[in-house]
Chains A and B, each alone.
Chain A
């Protein structure tokens, strides 16, 4: 059974700081998604990572995928308050897409 674990589940950080959210998964996969969810809203696609070593960046967010380690990271650079949200990773294995529990990120002004 595919398991997806995010770490940490809660993160409170100061504006201007850097931090990384980790997503570990338990089975072979070469497709991983990162989503953002604001309270009461739906999921917004951030990144789709399709191969080992894939790295994608959008603004202050950068995502990477290591399929050998079964690990993806979402790195936040110089955080700003607008990035406060819950971030989910989701792994596609055999067409079954499983989400992690999410990382609730709170950025303090």
Chain B
């Protein structure tokens, strides 16, 4: 079974440019998360989806960040315009609510460097 797939793995952009990350969760997982992880820190939740509905986006900086999960499967996270402080790893994760232990599975992450 394929895990959570993210792309791109690495991205270097200049500040003020836009960037987008894509996530394909594990098949059948209705809950999808986007986390941000700074170097040496734990992941911080940006947004959580239940199917296509964003049920928790309280930590998403909405002035420059946006996300969507059309059809309740794949999701994209966009930053426009990017700032130097956005350099981090963006992790996508998914889980099946009601599944065994509700384990949350993480993708490999998208490493963003803003220069």
Please report A residues at the B interface, Cβ cutoff 8 Å: 4, 31, 33, 35, 41-45, 48, 50, 88, 90, 92, 95-102
Contacts and interface: CB of A to CB of B under 8 A. Distances in A.
A33 B104 contact: yes
B42 to A, nearest CB: 3
16 contacts: A41-B108, A42-B106, A43-B93, A43-B106, A45-B103, A50-B101, A88-B42, A90-B104, A96-B48, A97-B104, A98-B45, A99-B42, A100-B42, A101-B42, A102-B40, A102-B41
Interface residues of B, number: 21
Contacts of A92: 102
B67 interface: no
Interface string B73-98: 00000000000000000010100000
A31 B102 contact: yes
Given A48-B103, A92-B102, 14 more contacts: A42-B108, A43-B43, A44-B106, A45-B104, A48-B101, A95-B56, A96-B48, A96-B56, A97-B104, A99-B44, A100-B42, A101-B41, A102-B40, A102-B41
A99 B109 CA distance: 16
Contacts of A88: 42-43
B107 interface: yes
